[in-house]
Amino acid sequence: MSKAETLQTIEYPPALQTETLTLNMGPQHPSTHGALRIILRLDGERVVSAQPDFGYVHRGFEKMAEAMTYPQYVYLTDRLDYLSALFNEWSYCLACETLAGLKVPRRAEYLRVITGELCRISSHLVWLGSMGMDLGAFTPLTYTFRDREMILEIFDRLCGQRMTFNYLRIGGVARDLPAGFTEQTRAFLKYFERMPDLYDQLLSENAIFLGRVRGIGRLSPETAHHHAVTGPNLRGSGVPLDLRKSEPYSVYPEFEFKVCIETEGDALARYRVRVEEMRQSARIIAQALDNLPAGEITAKVSRVFRPPAGEAYVRVESSRGIQGFYLVSDGSVKPARCRIRVPSFANLSLLPKLLAGVKIADIVAILGSIDFIVPEIDR
């Protein structure tokens, strides 16, 4: 099997023969957040090797795209990373707009940024709560889900959906802000201001939590690049790669925010990056609400969307890393090929390396800190 297996074999004196134990973690395990199975080979408490096995919720997204017209596919992308669904829609619409050479109106770009950053906060809230719960701290979950509910209500008012929004359209967004949206979002931002500090008190000042994440699952920048890891996992290892800053798309250059970096590269660093990102996202939303321009919410798009032959590979910074769509058009109403680059797939490919040699109890801490999402991996 893998290289790790030979590395971690322990020599026992002849009288004390033991053998490795193969243990299936999942597919129905609370800490795998979806149907992911990890085949563990254990030597006592230590992991000799770990092989992730997935595909349990494979739905053939890339094949389905070839049978659907471009606009028909938008709602399906919500089902990739359902916790931050808007980024999937965003990168798909951006890819279509790049193919067709469409320019999105400024108001629509602002609406995309506002909803996108709301999505990032809500996704990080789910991660924070469930990571705490994986490590035995139940309280954070009750707080983060309470606060996430407020974001879901904002989305409910905006597009009638709480998670699978179907809000973006090729060339813009589906509808303008409903009455009361701005006030509700502002009220949420005001309320949310002190929340990251509260979560911090609950977790990062908690000796048990710190003991379980500090120095665990160390990831060097070299290994991260080798596995094409992106997002908070990469920034936790000290690499300041955030597409919103390094290769700005949409109207991100107009906002002031910080790229959150930690240099330790352990589970605690990844935790800190995400908590700080929530603060930064709130900053972006506040600025976007203040400067929201008036105008059209969608570009002029012909009723039959038929981009010229060509290809586009477009990425956005989702809450888990770089999420991209590679679309190949043959000039017809359906894509010839629709490839989805998902951050979790690359991030999870680290797992055999990160898990080799750790203790069983640390697996949960490492899985939680990577923050992958299975439907996105399986597609």
Amino acid identity for residue 88 in this structure: N
Binding span for other proteins by CB under 8 A among 103-111, 125-133, 187-195, 217-225: 217-225
Element (H, E) at 183: helix 181-192
Window 353 to 372, contacts with other proteins (CB under 8 A): 353
DSSP state of 218: -
One of 7, 10, 67, 361 touching other proteins (CB under 8 A):
67
Q: Which is nearer to other proteins, 54 or 271 (CB)?
A: 54
Smallest separation (angstroms) from other proteins to the CB of 267 = 20
Residue 274 to residues 81, 121, 122, 363, Cα–Cα distance (Å): 17, 9, 11, 20
Q: How far is residue 351's CA from residue 151's CA, in Å, rounded to a whole number?
A: 31
- Are 365 and 217 in contact by the 8 Å Cβ rule? The answer is yes
Tell me the CA end-to-end span of the chain in Å, nearest whole number: 26
Q: Is 341 in the site for other proteins (CB under 8 A)?
A: yes
Q: Is 70 in the site for other proteins (CB under 8 A)?
A: no
Please count the CA atoms within 13 angstroms of the CA of 218 that sit on its side-chain side: 6
Give me 186's structure tokens: 């502002």
Site string for other proteins, 90-119 (x = CB under 8 A): --------x---------------------
Q: Is 267 in the site for other proteins (CB under 8 A)?
A: no
One of 8, 27, 39, 62 touching other proteins (CB under 8 A):
62
Smallest separation (angstroms) from other proteins to the CB of 373 = 15
Element (H, E) at 85: helix 85-100
Residues that bind other proteins (CB under 8 A): 1-2, 54-55, 58, 60, 62-63, 67-68, 98, 221, 223, 225-228, 230, 239, 241, 243, 246-247, 310-313, 322, 324, 326, 328, 336-337, 339, 341, 345-346, 349, 353, 378-379
